[in-house]
């Protein structure tokens, strides 16, 4: 391989960093801090989840999620409900304000995804997705 040529995994890493940077930008466009994005998106698809589930999904600590959720509750994006049958367990739900931000963010990111598809073409995108999924399985087995 020529010295200047990027390896597949370095290219994937670069694309991943750029996509994360873009998601931060989109979160700010929608009017939320970047730290809220993962919680909003996770709870929009998993209402009633707890902080441990969010932490596992986002590969972070429950303490970090706790700090974000606390701020989101203060700002009216999330509400915490205590389980009636077992007061030790709490579930998290988006408020109307949080749900509206999640919809706007999902729409904005969907636009970006559609632009990438348009740029690449559907066949090329499908081939890249297939290749990356195969690479993921291979890496997971290493």
Domain ranges in the chain are 8-141
**Residue 79 in this model has a pLDDT that exceeds 90:** yes
Q: State the average pLDDT over residues 86-113.
A: 93
Per CATH, domain 8-141 is 1.10.10.10: yes
DSSP state of 82: E
**Residue 89 in this model has a pLDDT that exceeds 90:** no
Compute the mean pLDDT over every residue in the chain, rounded to the nearest whole number: 92
**Residue 2 in this model has a pLDDT that exceeds 80:** no
In degrees, rounded to 5, the angle at the alpha carbon of residue 44 between the alpha carbons of residues 59 and 68 is: 50
Q: State the average pLDDT over residues 110-129.
A: 94
**Residue 1 in this model has a pLDDT that exceeds 70:** no
pTM: 0.83
Dihedral sign (CA 31, 40, 51, 17)? negative
* Band (123; pLDDT cuts 50, 70, 90): very high
Tell me the pLDDT tens digit for each residue of 16-38.
999 999 999 999 999 999 999 99
Task: Return the number of other C-beta atoms located less than 10 Å from residue 3's C-beta.
Answer: 4
């Amino acid at each position: 391989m020529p010295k200047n040529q990027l390896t597949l995994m370095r290219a994937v890493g670069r694309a991943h960093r750029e996509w994360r940077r873009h998601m931060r930008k989109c979160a700010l466009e929608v009017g939320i801090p970047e730290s809220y994005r993962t919680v909003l998106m996770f709870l929009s698809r998993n209402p009633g989840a707890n902080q441990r589930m969010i932490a596992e999904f986002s590969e972070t600590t429950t303490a970090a999620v706790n700090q974000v959720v606390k701020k989101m509750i203060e700002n009216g994006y999330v509400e915490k409900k205590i389980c009636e049958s077992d007061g030790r367990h709490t579930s998290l739900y988006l408020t109307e304000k949080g749900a509206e931000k999640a919809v706007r963010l999902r729409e904005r990111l969907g636009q970006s995804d559609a632009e990438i598809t348009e740029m690449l073409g559907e066949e090329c995108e499908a081939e890249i997705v297939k290749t990356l999924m195969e690479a993921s399985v291979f890496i997971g087995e290493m």
